[in-house]
């Protein structure tokens, strides 16, 4: 079966939108804090849901491989910092989680979408991942992410970019 041709996202090749959000400890983290390193910035709907847990645990399990390639992994949701603390403790997560309660940063990255659940429409976070290079440029964007195989796909893509450096 032939693989589908990837269509580049309109944000790829452009500077990543800036952000300043609190992590689970209350420390405000900004895009500039990660300058000089690759950044995997992913947006997810909610702490402690099955897909979001599998994704966070998956990134945690591969965190050493990401770090060996010069990358940090940061997850963002509209959950509170207290919720993030519980999520991190419950699943022994090693990644940084940021709280975007007013979803302003989620919107900047185009991940705040109208969704349908049981026939009703509501606004929420679309699972999305952004690979940002050490200069702050968006190199790869994944929208409408399916959890299975995603962490490996991001890691493989990062390997491709870092082997070209």
Residue spans per domain, the chain: 35-163
CA distance 103 to 25: 19
Q: According to CATH, what is the number of the domain 35-163?
A: 3.40.30.10
| 78, two tokens | 């509209």
Catalytic status, residue 21:
no
Q: CA-CA-CA-CA torsion for 162, 30, 99, 107, nearest 10 degrees?
A: -80
pLDDT at residue number 113:
86
| More confidently predicted of 165 and 101 | 101
Interval 100-151: pLDDT, tens: 999 999 999 999 988 777 787 878 889 999 999 999 999 999 998 898 999 9
Tally Cβ neighbours within 10 Å of residue 73: 25
* Residue 5 binned pLDDT confidence (cut-offs 50, 70, 90): low
Residue 2 clears pLDDT 50, i.e. is over it: no
* Contact residues for 124 (Cβ-Cβ < 8 A; gap 6+): 45, 112, 113, 115
* Contact residues for 77 (Cβ-Cβ < 8 A; gap 6+): 43, 44, 45, 46, 47, 52, 84, 97, 99, 100, 125
CA distance 82 to 6: 38
Q: To the nearest whole percent, how much of the chain has pLDDT over 70? A: 95
Q: Catalytic one among 16, 52, 63, 111? A: 52
Residue 24 clears pLDDT 70, i.e. is over it: yes
DSSP strand E in the chain: where?
20-22, 28-30, 38-43, 71-77, 96-99, 112-117, 120-125, 128-132, 138-142
Interval 33-81: pLDDT, tens: 999 999 999 999 999 988 899 999 999 999 999 999 999 999 999 999 9
Mean pLDDT of the chain: 92
pLDDT at residue number 10:
83
CA distance 40 to 151: 10
The pTM is what? 0.92
């Amino acid at each position: 079966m032939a693989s589908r041709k990837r269509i580049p996202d309109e944000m790829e090749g452009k500077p990543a939108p800036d952000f300043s959000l609190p992590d689970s400890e209350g420390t405000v983290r900004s895009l500039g804090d990660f300058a000089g390193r690759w950044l995997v910035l992913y947006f997810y709907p909610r702490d402690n849901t099955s897909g979001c847990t599998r994704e966070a645990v998956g990134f945690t399990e591969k965190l050493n491989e990401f770090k060996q390639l010069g990358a940090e992994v940061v997850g963002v949701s509209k959950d509170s910092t207290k919720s993030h603390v519980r999520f991190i403790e419950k699943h022994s997560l090693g990644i940084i989680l940021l709280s975007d309660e007013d979803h302003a940063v989620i919107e900047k990255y185009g991940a705040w979408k109208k969704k349908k659940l049981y026939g009703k429409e509501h606004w929420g976070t679309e699972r999305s991942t952004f690979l940002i290079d050490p200069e702050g440029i968006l190199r790869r964007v994944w929208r409408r992410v399916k959890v299975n195989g995603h962490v490996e796909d991001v890691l493989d893509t990062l390997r491709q970019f870092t082997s070209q450096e």
